[in-house]
Amino acid sequence: MHSNWFRESDTYGSYINKGPREQHVGSTTLPYPGGFMFIRFDDAGYDMMNNALKMQQSICRHAGGYLIGIARKEKIYVYEIAQQNKQQNWSLARNQPHRQARATENAVAAFWFTKREAAESYFENGYRNRLREPCFPTPNGYEAYYVPLLSAPPMRPANTFLFIEFLMHPSKHAEYQERLTQFEAEMRDDMQRLVPECRPMVVSSQTGRVIFKPGLFVSPYSKLFISRFESQRDVDEILRIGMIEGLRRKWNLPSEMNVFSMTVEDAF
């Protein structure tokens, strides 16, 4: 799978030399960034999960959060999977209709909360909370984790998420961390140049996560970047020019990666 969806680095090189950077004026945002909580489950259990979350709406708001939406399986595109010789971190579909991405049988619900404690309050609430049931939704249950944001969510719609996760061993030395920092800074600038209305790298997380229910969705040893866009077309353009792979090569980041995008829609 690796490099099938990337373009050669010289394609990216021609892109980054097109002229001066554009200035981006962001939309009005909330005064605190908060964080995302993601719940991944089998798409076959969508109706059960949707109903359970609907019953919890008032509790979610009272805790200090809201449901951004749910990405169904047809709105999730898996571009790169790390550790392919080990257990997969996605339930891949038998039929694979896309040439440059893999289809999955999973769905993902995305929430925003004011802070970690708010997400914990919602998740641990015992009143009619089916998330506390060990096998909900059947047959395979779900995974859930919280990750802090660097900047507040946009007021305008930005419902397409791009995840870039570098799998790392905790002993990775300081020089590698510095190269990751350079990758992040240049990726942020280049995303904003290409897609001025995007929210690049709103998550840059190696610490501060809360795993409510563990699974394979996110590694405990990883650097996770999340960016937000107005549509999947924006992500398609980033992949078309090979931006991620170009910067990965430039900053010599050989770690395995998980790369996927998802577009959430209103659930109710």
Residue predicted with more confidence, 32 or 68: 68
Q: Smallest Cα–Cα separation from 186: which of 21, 8, 28?
A: 21
Evaluate whether 248 touches 175 at the Cβ level (below 8 Å). Answer: no
Burial of 59 (0-12, 13-18, 19+ CB in 10 A): middle
Would you state the pLDDT for residue 171? 63
Would you state the pLDDT for residue 188? 97
Rounded-to-integer distance, Cα 167 and Cα 219, Å: 7
Rounded-to-integer distance, Cα 99 and Cα 122, Å: 39
Rounded-to-integer distance, Cα 72 and Cα 240, Å: 24
Please write the tens of the pLDDT for every residue from 231-249. Answer: 999 999 999 999 999 999 9
Please write the tens of the pLDDT for every residue from 79-104. Answer: 998 875 555 689 889 888 888 899 99
Provide the percentage of residues in the chain whose pLDDT is more than 90: 59
Q: Has residue 4 got a pLDDT over 60?
A: no
**82 in helix, strand or coil?**
coil
Burial of 26 (0-12, 13-18, 19+ CB in 10 A): middle
For the whole model, what pTM was predicted? 0.86
Give the residue extent of every domain in the chain.
9-263
Please write the tens of the pLDDT for every residue from 118-131. Answer: 999 998 887 788 99
Rounded-to-integer distance, Cα 95 and Cα 228, Å: 28
Please write the tens of the pLDDT for every residue from 253-265. Answer: 988 899 999 999 9
> Averaged over 163-184, what is the pLDDT?
86
Structure tokens at 81: 């999977």
Neighbours of 101 (CB within 10 A): 21
Please write the tens of the pLDDT for every residue from 49-84. Answer: 999 999 999 999 999 999 999 999 999 999 998 875
CATH class of the domain whose range is 9-263 = alpha beta
